[in-house]
Structure formats: structure tokens, C-alpha cells
A and B are shown apart, each in its own frame.
Chain A
Amino acid sequence: MRGETVERQKEKILANLREAGPAGAKKAKLGVKSPKGSAAQALKELLSDRRVANLGSPTRPCYVLGEHFNPLQRACAQIERNARLQKPVDNPTPELFVKKELEKGCQGEVRKKVDEALDWLVQQKRLVKLRRGRSFYLASTDELKALLTPDRQPPEAAVEAQPRPLHSTEAHPVDRLLVQAAYLRLTSRLGYRNVEISELRRELDIHMDELKRLLLEESRDGHAVLSLGDWSVSSDETRSGAIELFGRPHLLVRFDAD
């Protein structure tokens, strides 16, 4: 009987977490009241099976489904928000940040990933690390670039005036990173690595032809793998992402960690 109760509690917890989505939920919302009750036992088993994970700390937990457990990505996103990397460059003077300012809002498991996230963003050239004496500061690469590039136009206007050549050597690295970041978000959400090209385009909100050119080039360079998928059961939207390779339409793409 006890086993059945735990199983039922597992169902409830999973249903609550599905409803909560990536935001997750606290113990109370999951119906875990007593630490010795069947709900607590169910939660413990789900955590041990990795179907549920705690993004928060032991004292301030925030539970999510396994598929939403992505502390590094969350840390990156929070840092980008704090550094206003996702906003258009409209201020001519680049702003310097210290780590404490950038990690604001990161808690529990996400906070543990702040150092890794900063390294990643620096490595990906989203942030620049600057040193003065013993102190380190971080700044947005785009802001610095904008400052150092003569005849600078506001980026949105530049895009309108002249579409960026995704395959050109200069613009390519940046766009590739954007695509990879969108790909990571998608795979984290879906739980598998071969994603539909059309879905990746939706995530990026860029022109399909630009994405296709980039992916084909990435495939030839060995950075991405295109797969056929199944044309017969695919929607028109999925088919719109088809890239011809060996004369056949490939609907899926996979990036591997280098």
C-alpha cells in the first residue's frame, strides 16, 4: 500500500512540475508537507532517479523537471541580463562590471555555475575581461567594438541597411555563436540533440535562407551534422527548413561539443 501511495505522489509531483515549467516550484507547491510523509519519499526517489532536480539550495529549494535542470545556461542568461548584453548597443560609453554585480539574481545551483558562465561568455567573446591593478572588470564586447569601430551606425539600422553576410569571415563567428546558443536552448528544452532546422530558425528569428547557408557551411566544415528526418510525416513548416545534401532534403541538425 505504501508503495502505491508513493507512486501516486510521484505522479502528482511530476504533474505540478510540468505545470510549473522552467520556473520550477517549491516544496509546498509540490504537496510535500511532512519530511517523513509519502510525498517526501516520492520526491526523494524522483531526485535520486534524476527525473526531478533542485536548482536552488538545500535550504531554499527550487525543484524542476530533469529536462529543465540547466544551471549553466541560467547563469549565462542572468549574467547577460545583468550586463545588458541582450539589449541593443545605444550607449557610446562601455560600462564596466565586477563579478558581484553580474551574479546578482543567481542562487543555489545557478550561483555555483557563475564562474564557469563568466569563463564561457569571455571565451565566446560576449564579454571582455579587463584588468586594473589586482582588480578585474568585465565589459560587453559589442559595446567595446561599437566604441572602436569608426562610422558606427546603430546596429538595428545597420541590419536594415545591409543584411549581414552570415557566411562572410567577419560576421560568421558571431552568428555561429548565436545559432549555437539557440541550439543549446532548444536541446535543453526538447531533451534530444537532433533538432528541426525550422524550429531552430523560429528560436533565432532570422531569415531561413541565412540559417541554411550557415548550417550547410557548418556541415561542410564538420561542425554540424545534418540528418534526413522523415519528410512523409513532417509539416509544411518543418519541410521549410529542408537543406539539400546528397540531393535529398535534410530536416534536422545536430551540433556536437567541440
Chain B
Amino acid sequence: MDINPFESVIVSEPRRIERPVPGLNDLPLESLLRQVDKLTAGEFPKAVKLPGAQFIQSPAPGYGKSHLIGRLFKQLHGRATLIYLRPFTNPSSCWKSILLKMVQELEFPESAEAEFCGVDETNQLEALVHGILVNVMINGLTSGIIRHSHPAGAVAYFQRATLKRLRTNPQWVTWVERKKAGLAELMERQLKHKGILLSSSPLSWFSVLLSYAYFPKTYELRQSCLDWLRGGSIDDDAAGRIGILPADRPFHDLAIDPANETSKNRIVDFCSLAGFYRPFLFCFDQTENYGAEPSIAKCLGMVIQGLVDDCPNHMTVVTANQHPWRQVVQPHWEHAHVDRLARPVLELEGLRKEQAGALIAIRLHGWDPGTPQAKKILNPQWLEDVFRQSREIGIRHFLVKCSEQWRTGDIKPNTDSKPSATAKELEDTFQAYVNKIKTQPKRLVYDPDALFWLVQEVACRQGVAFKKFKSTRGYLVARWDVDGRKVYFGFEAGHHFKRWLAIQQEAGRYHAADRSSKVVFFRTPELRFIPGPGWKSAHEIAAAKRGYLHILVLGRETMAQLYAAYDLYLDTVEGNLPFKVDQVMAFIRSRLRPVWDGILEPAPEKWGGGPPETDPTPPDENGESKKTLIHKIRDIVKRDKFLSIADLMARLSPPVSEEELHRARACIAEIQVHTSPNMTVLQWRPNK
């Protein structure tokens, strides 16, 4: 099987990094860990603020920014709640976007190694809830506010208790449910003692967190909890069942600014509550992309200032490539924003010769060192030649050299003066990105930033279609003017019937003013169908869908293409790929023509609009079959060492879809995925 172990040169998911090279960029990592130590010292609840965001600067692309975040994630496993943030694209909904990603990341497994929770595995949000509840109890018992015949024994019990143990104890669950109000008050008192006030009432927070963590099988209610945590509005009925107080139920008709503010408050509250457990780590990566527009760059400065000033119990890490940061991002920041970056700047360094040798050994782990390709790489003279001109080389630059050496055996230092990339190379790279996205089930969810970018940056026609726009009520945030027709766009992940009724009414007003116009909203398969089955307004919304309201439910294949296009663009801007940004934009514009055609389609009968291709299923409903599938995949890949996805699928009985396979495979940390334009290969690497 023709796999090049040096082919993979970009870290796209920091939870999946390879073993680090000893000594490489240890200093910045140690500095970051020292900052986290400051956050974890002291008694619960903590209320510690760091004086600034940690700023990691790389002299050029490919020095290991995302890899360093991956190492930080590994080091902080069990010590911090880890949040990886790709760039937001719409300044007016920046906090909303961050909160959405934050909640998505909170659903990542607690283990920080796999990308998907295995059956019965705790996710980060459940761990946070458990930590809060346990420490409120321990504080209450220690201070005597919660009376117990053997307080010391009870404290010891809670110190050892796991979430699974507590939530499967019916007596405990009943007791907590009954005492919810008292416990929330106790939590509020403990927070107040540290000078912290929550924006939403502690009882609402307590009720939501408890419902989420203790009743994982009540799927609808759990989804409503997630909606509320994302700052969205939820039905009064669901809110009442969860126990969210009326004052804490976001109004269904929130305009974009108050919705953004609500999201920020939710993030501040999350950080405040983190004082009962462990700090948050927010990592802003791929920051070159904030340089796309001055307003986005400035907005990032405002966000960093907001996090540093208002959020306790967290560390923000910002990574950047030196030139783009100094030329197109920081110049748009105010002094107050720059002051929020901690000094000294943490700078990344390249590989030295002995470290390069270690990197080769890591990449060749699991490969036969006796093959001709491996021998060429392991030839000490080759390494000597590579480092003849400089004692240090960027990591990606070195991997590219290794990859060339593996393929061709050309031992002369290559001049690297690449000819301009051909259309075929671009197509192949795009296809490899599509394959990679398909292997990351967590990415195949609603991502308003990627979708907004598509509408704004790569609109069907360059410079003509996209117009800045904001509707009266704020539901529609972009517009295309194409051939005299207007196509309006809105982005809504929620499922509140009143909000969707308001959206339909606003769409109707714009359509009435111009009968040739239409309104497009994107939905993704994991979101619930619009309109909901029991909605009173279902009839009106369905009628609008037959006229002017185009709710475009993206299939997984289309999502993979859209998000792959977004990743391809982000990596090009970051300087990770040998393509020009304009070239990539033109390619994407042409490659996504079927998507544009679908959006522009004027005839409602051709819009589709039936239920999504797969109904979202409760996560634990088919737990046993998933567990069995994980075992089967593990056994086969462990035995075969290398295996293509197609071969693996052929050997699984009963047959499973590629999506099911990846959901199960993502739970196995030892499997490394290699993607190429034509195939996806799995490799067993227990010690990677």
C-alpha cells in the first residue's frame, strides 16, 4: 500500500497529534503550563483572572502552532476544559459563534485523545457538571450547611464518586432533584463569597446542567438544554420541564446584538462556574483569517479584551504567524486590545538536526525500516546535507523534504522553487480535504462561520453577488443580487417555533416587496426538522417553504465539500499550501457550482425540503451495536496494521455506512487516518 509517512504536514485536529519531538518548543509549552498552575491553585470556587491572553508567534507557517495546542491539550487532560476555536467570520455574531463552538467542543470526550465519545464515555460538559455539583456538595458538607451524620465520610464519598456512579444511583438523583433550589442557592452563596454573580439565575443554570448530565437518555430535553446553553430560545414547555426560570428564557425574537450579548454572558457564566471544577482553555488558531477584513480583525481584539477582562478561571491562547499578524491583524487593534496580550511573546522555533532525526523515528514508527524508502530517509548523510546550510529548519519544511526523499530519493537539497500549482493538484488537494472531513464526524455539524464565509467570500459570482445586508428584525444577514433577483440569507441553528414563525413572517415581507426574491436558510442533518411536528405554525411555515422560504438541508456529501472548501481556504490563507488565495477562490467557486445552482433555483418544487436524509438519533439509543462495532474495527485494524476504509467496510458484518464507521472509529485513539485524493487508509499506531 503506497502511503508516505511524511505526507501529512498539517494538523487539522489538535486532539489527534503525533508524539512530540523531545525538546522542540518545550519552553513555550512550559510557560503556558505555568499560567494554568496559577488558575488551579486555591480552594473551590476559584475566581482567578490571568493578566493577559498568551500569545504564541511563529516566524512562518509550519512551525507547529496547532501541534503545540495539541500538546497543551494532552498535558492539560483532566486539568482544564479544552476549547479549540476556528476563526469566526461575522463580527456582529462573534460571541454567538464562539459559544456555539464552545458547546460543540464541550461535547468532545473527556479523554482528549479520541474525537468522539465511546459508549458510556463522559464528555467535557458532563465532567464539568459533575465537578460543579460535587464541589458544591463538598463545600456544603465541610461548612456544615448541608447536615450529615458522617460529614467526613460523605466528603470522601463525593471526592471519589464518578458521574456514572452518581447518576445511576436513583436515591441520589431523586435527592438532588428535590433539593435543587437549595443547592443552587448554596452555589450562589459560594460564588458571591468570591465576588462572582451569574448573569442567569443559579437555579436555571443548576437545572439545565443537571438535566443534561443526569438524564442523558431524554434526548429532546437534552437537546433543549444544549439550545439554552448555546444562548438560544427554547419552548416554554421544555423550559418549564427543565426548570429554567421565565426570566432566563431568551426571547425568541432576539435581534442580533442582544443575541450576541446573551452569548457573551453565557460564556462569562460558564467561566465563573468553572471555578468549582477546573479552568477553561480557549485556543484561537488560524488567526491570519481574521485579517480578511479590518472589522473582523478589530472584533478579534475586542473578543480577547472581553475574555481577559470579564472571564475568570480561563486561559486564552492566541497563535499567529508573525508577518500576517503584524501586517493585517494587529494594526486594526486598539492599544487596549494589544495590552491584553501577555508578554513576553512565546516564540516557536524550528527543528535542529538531532530533533529532525527524532521526528523521522516518530514518523517511521510502525513502518519497516528495511524498505528502500526508509533506508533513504535513515541515511545519516542525507540529514547532514539537509542541515548544511542552516542549523534549524521549519518543521513542515523538513517534513516536505522527507516526503520528497521518500518518493524520489533525491538526496540533493531541493531548491523548493515550486512551479505554480496546476488545476489537477488543486483538485487532488480538495478531494483529499473532502476525504479528511468525512473522517471527522464532529466536524460534520452546523457551522455558521463556514456557511457565512461561503455566502460572503465565495458567492456564486466574484464581486457581484454578495451585498452587505441586515433585515429589519435581523433574521436575514446577507444578500445576493444575481441577474436582477435578490436571494436573502439567514443562519439559525435553533428550533423554537416562535422564532421560526417570526423568520417566516420576515421572509414573507421581503418576498411580498419583490416577488422574484427568496430567502435561504441552511440546515444540517443533526439539527431538528423545520417545522417541528407539533408546531401550531407548521402549516404556515410549510406553505412559505412552498413559495419563498428555502430551507436548504445539506446532505453529508455536500457538507463535506463545503467544509473542505472552507478548510482549504483557511490553510491557503495561513500559508500552509502552495496555492494562491485567488486561485483557490476561483477553484472553489467553480467546484461548488451545483451548490450555487441549488441556492439560485427559483422553482420551489425543485428545492426538496423533505425531512433530512437521516433523523438525528439519541446518542445512547444504539449503544450496544456501537460498542460491538468499535470492538470489531479495533480488532481488524490492530491485526492488519494498514487497511483502506473500503476494505474495512467490506469486512464488517452486518454492513455499516461510512458515517457509522467513522463515528465508531473516532472513538479509537490508536488508529491514525491517512487521507489522499483517492482513498482513506487506517493505520494501527498504539504509541503514536
- Interface residues, chain A, with chain B CB atoms under 8 Å away: 7, 11, 14-15, 18, 49-51, 66-67, 191-194, 219-220, 222, 225-230, 232-235, 238, 245-248, 251-252, 254
Contacts and interface: CB of A to CB of B under 8 A. Distances in A.
A55 to B, nearest CB: 16
Contacts of A192: 57, 322, 344-345, 347
A230 B575 contact: yes
B389 A246 contact: yes
A219 B390 contact: yes
B345 to A, nearest CB: 4
Contacts of B414: 246-247
Contacts of B345: 191-192
Contacts of A220: 388-390
Contacts of A7: 309
16 contacts: A18-B335, A51-B51, A67-B343, A193-B347, A194-B59, A225-B349, A226-B390, A227-B350, A228-B397, A230-B61, A230-B321, A230-B322, A232-B575, A234-B323, A247-B417, A252-B322
A11 B336 CA distance: 7
B416 interface: yes
B323 A251 contact: yes
Contacts of A238: 323
Contacts of A248: 416-417
Interface of A is mostly: mixed
B638 to A, nearest CB: 40
A233 B336 contact: no
A120 B422 CA distance: 55
A49 B417 contact: no
Contact of B327 (A191, A227, A234): A234
Interface residues of B, number: 36
Interface of B: 51-52, 57, 59-61, 291, 309, 321-324, 327-328, 335-336, 339, 343-345, 347, 349-350, 388-392, 394, 397, 413-417, 575
Nearest to B291: A233
Q: Which 5 A-B pairs have the closest CB atoms?
A: A247-B415, A227-B59, A230-B323, A228-B60, A49-B51
B327 A233 contact: yes
A254 B413 CA distance: 22
A254 B392 CA distance: 11
Nearest to B415: A247
A15 B335 CA distance: 8
Given A220-B389, A246-B389, 14 more contacts: A51-B51, A51-B343, A191-B343, A192-B57, A192-B344, A194-B57, A219-B390, A225-B391, A227-B350, A228-B59, A230-B324, A233-B323, A246-B413, A246-B416
Given A225-B390, A246-B389, A247-B417, A254 B59 contact: yes
A227 B339 contact: no
B570 to A, nearest CB: 15
A51 B340 CA distance: 10
Contacts of B391: 219, 222, 225
A194 B347 contact: yes
A198 to B, nearest CB: 12
Contacts of B322: 192, 194, 229-230, 252
Nearest to B62: A228
Contacts of B51: 49, 51
A66 B343 contact: yes
A246 B392 CA distance: 12
Nearest to A227: B59
Contacts of A50: 343
Contacts of A222: 391
A241 to B, nearest CB: 12
Q: Which of B51, B328, B394 has the most CB of A within 10 A?
A: B51
A228 B390 CA distance: 12
Nearest to B349: A225
B337 to A, nearest CB: 12
B390 A230 contact: no
Contact of B328 (A15, A229, A233, A246): A233
Contacts of A49: 51-52
Contact of B392 (A66, A225, A229, A233): A225
Q: Which of A50, A51, A194 has the most CB of B within 10 A?
A: A194
A145 B322 CA distance: 42
Nearest to A66: B343
Contacts of A11: 336, 339
A212 B297 CA distance: 34
A230 B325 CA distance: 10
A229 B575 CA distance: 10
B59 A191 contact: no
A66 B344 CA distance: 9
Contacts of B415: 246-247
Contact of B394 (A14, A219, A228, A234): A228
A67 to B, nearest CB: 7
Contacts of B328: 233
Nearest to B574: A230
A213 B413 CA distance: 21
A229 B322 CA distance: 7
A140 B61 CA distance: 45
A245 B394 contact: no
A147 B579 CA distance: 60
Contacts of B344: 191-192
A157 to B, nearest CB: 37
B194 to A, nearest CB: 13
B323 to A, nearest CB: 4
Q: Which of B60, B323, B343, B417 has the most CB of A within 10 A?
A: B323
A121 B347 CA distance: 28
A225 to B, nearest CB: 5
A35 B322 CA distance: 41
Contact of A252 (B59, B397, B575): B59
Contacts of A252: 59-60, 322
B60 A230 contact: yes
Contact of B339 (A51, A226, A233, A246): A51
Contacts of B389: 219-220, 245-246
Contacts of A66: 343
Q: Which of B345, B390, B391 has the most CB of A within 10 A?
A: B390
A14 B339 contact: yes
A142 B391 CA distance: 33
A32 B291 CA distance: 38
B197 to A, nearest CB: 13
A232 B573 CA distance: 10
Nearest to A14: B339
